[in-house]
Chains A and B, each alone.
Chain A
């Protein structure tokens, strides 16, 4: 990490992205500090997922720069970058033809790490799954919550500095979701990973975020802590959003 350890873990500089006639990202800038947990919120089509996917180069911006730990992402090999950054999709995305153990070993295996097995076991324990019980199971034999736990374990197995999560708990029932949120929050603090998470659930954002980023139509409306957001919503849109989610009382 030569460009200095004071560089933010993730940085977007005036990033724009257009899909046909739709401007998905409109001159977006954002810094995520090392070890920080930032949550992107907004309605569908606000550009939050597009922004997230810029950080492991699933999306390349049309204009602006993405910096990963101070290095221009455009200069990095996308495959190598993705093996360095953890990723959890909404549906878990476990490979259905691989057992849990092999799923969690995926990134260590891709990076040809020696102790892939141990790393996978550690990661499973970290997310509260006993390897002795779960390692040899098929994904179809797991509950929805267990599957998402495995997906988080898989993203953390090589102990990345950064993890990206795209609505990771969105498809779960309320009780399971709360369980997973607290597990994730705990794990994140334990391993000190920088985390960028996308959600449309403001409660989740408030529970998990050091800072919340409210997005609307490809632009950043406000970046602040949960408390600041409640005390001083920037403009009518953010206020409305908070009111509707009942995190703000009228």
Chain B
């Protein structure tokens, strides 16, 4: 308990690397601005944050919090205040309805339904849509005279498509355009989002799917074919704000609407390009955009995950050392607290089960089932119960650590040197003495092995804690993945790997210390 009292405030303080700008405005708590884990969402959230800061509000950032389900759950439960969302996504993924072709219609529908069902509000759209875009090379467009998807349908049987797996499967993806336009590609290959533009440019495929605001559209100078039958639903970007935020900070809601209608698709492609292609830090791009729009005068201070220009991984790690160190310490705290709690629960439980072996296997297997839950799913389950941040992450990590420790404690004590245990018993040790002086010491190496297994799993799983805003090295990995920035991914993954090795080695020393018989 005392340990928690000491450590929790440390953990609950703002994630390192995110600036908390103190303004003279008396504010009960900082406004929590979150984003989904991809570049444009980071950018819009950072623009929200800097705009609010420029108007005197203090802000706490949760960039790359999680995909739609997680981000929306967090907003609905008032765990975050605002994040950028798209109307088509809201209708399709959250309301489960098929969007119609009219953007105004879709906006009015989500606006009304979100308010009625969840108390959540859509602010007026920012002005641009980020919908599906079908792209071809300039030469292909010239050669076949392509400007629209109807044009594409005429020649599609001669073209090879490289599409994301998501697009191939969704009703509003490939099956949809096949139905609406009669498009039939000569071949379809599943491609990862990160490589599809390169594959197109290299001529390995002729058609790809993208998003209409992708920075790579500018970078590779590809041609977007017009959706002339208006098949793709409208995905207008807007700020989605929680009921609590609207109630507590009406003035801040007003500030956010200053951005409404100001951003065009061309603007966004340009800004996304600066992030995705030119590797300029998100906060600088956001600050520059606000300045250019004339709604702030001076860029707000540095924040977010700064990125230097192209340089080697080693150099990058060195440049980022202070924030990496801070995230590593936070990572270690998450791991230590959850592991300690798991040891304190699983070891006594294992010992108790050993004394009633009939119920042992069902209980242990039941806890083992937790292990089969995908980590992301478990983290997502936590949000409605515990919100986002450190607590649900600790609970999830704790649950994952139980099984290896429990299993090894039970088996270790059960199978510990039966000769010695029998003799100790026959010479007059009480059951308690047998446990304390014989079985537990003899089982200690096996129990330690379980703890080591749990610790290494825990260090790895803790990188996922970033998705529910608990911080740690996962922040760098999530942000790096979202921005397809390998150096940033490595700056989280390498320290995590080193940490796993160090934790294992450290516990290995403990194991030698508890080795019975010197």
Contact = CB atoms under 8 A, between A and B. Distances in A.
B424 A82 contact: no
A107 B420 contact: no
Interface in B234-249: none
B419 A92 contact: yes
Interface string A76-106: 0001111110010101111111100000001
Given A89-B423, A91-B419, A93-B422, A110 B428 contact: yes
Interface residues of B, number: 20
Nearest to A77: B428
A96 B518 CA distance: 10
Contacts of B420: 93-96
B426 A58 contact: yes
A97 B442 contact: yes
A138 interface: yes
Q: Is the interface of B mostly helix, strand, loop or mixed?
A: helix
Q: B420, B425, B428, B517: which has the most chain A beta carbons within 10 Å? A: B428
Given A82-B426, A106-B427, A107-B427, A93 B517 contact: no
Interface of B: 417, 419-420, 422-430, 433, 437-438, 441-442, 516-518
Nearest to A98: B517
A82 B430 CA distance: 10
7 contacts: A58-B426, A87-B427, A89-B426, A92-B419, A106-B424, A106-B427, A151-B423
Contacts of A246: none
A154 interface: yes
B426 A96 contact: no
A40 to B, nearest CB: 17
Interface residues of A, number: 28
A96 B516 contact: yes
Given A95-B420, A138-B517, A79 B430 contact: yes
A56 interface: yes
Contacts of B429: 79, 110
A244 interface: no
Contacts of B516: 96-97
A84 B427 CA distance: 8
A2 B323 CA distance: 79
A140 interface: yes
Interface in A136-150: 138-140
Contacts of A58: 425-426
A96 B438 CA distance: 9
B419 A89 contact: yes
Given A93-B426, A111-B428, A139-B517, 9 more contacts: A79-B428, A81-B428, A82-B425, A91-B419, A93-B420, A95-B420, A110-B427, A110-B428, A154-B427
Given A95-B438, A96-B516, A97-B516, A87 B430 contact: no
Interface string A96-128: 111000000011001100000000000000000
Interface in A143-175: 151, 154-155
Given A87-B423, A92-B419, A95-B438, A107 B517 contact: no
Contacts of A96: 417, 420, 442, 516-517
B517 A56 contact: no
Contacts of A84: 428
Contacts of A154: 427
Contacts of B419: 89, 91-93
Given A96-B442, A110-B428, A138 B518 contact: yes
A98 to B, nearest CB: 8
